[in-house]
Amino acid sequence: SAVISQKPSRDICQRGTSLTIQCQVDSQVTMMFWYRQQPGQSLTLIATANQGSEATYESGFVIDKFPISRPNLTFSTLTVSNMSPEDSSIYLCSVESLRAAAGQFFGPGTRLTVL
């Protein structure tokens, strides 16, 4: 399985500011995924990040609010823009296993609190 790291591991931010979360993988992967897990809830896919193309966003998520970069095959960033307390959540990046049918592996997550 891939080794995935995320920075920062946690942050406390003020309303109206933006935070960029970094995700680094130890091997080249085609697709990277960004999820949100709100307290007591399951995982919700925000977007799929492909290298060299625009990210694909799920219903309810827009690029202006969650811009994503994917400059190469081992790195991606997710920015949470103009934050409000409702954005308080854990943000996780993930990658597919070498065999897509064998599931995804998750990074350690970024715990975001917006005051």
Partner 1 sequence: QKEVEQNSGPLSVPEGAIASLNCTYSDRGSQSFFWYRQYSGKSPELIMFIYSNGDKEDGRFTAQLNKASQYVSLLIRDSQPSDSATYLCAVNDDKIIFGKGTRLHILP
| Amino acid at position 96, single letter | E
Binding segment (CB under 8 A) for partner 1, from list 11-19, 20-28, 38-46, 73-81: 38-46
3-state class (DSSP) for residue 97: coil
Q: How far is Cα 42 from Cα 92, in angstroms, rounded to an integer? A: 12
Binding segment (CB under 8 A) for partner 1, from list 20-28, 61-69, 80-88, 104-112: 104-112
3-state class (DSSP) for residue 35: strand
3-state class (DSSP) for residue 86: helix
Beta bridge partners of 96: 104
Tell me the per-residue interface mask from 51 to 90 with partner 1, x by CB under 8 A, - otherwise: ---------------------------------------x
Residues in the site for partner 1, rule: CB under 8 A?
1, 41-43, 45, 48, 90, 92, 97, 101-109
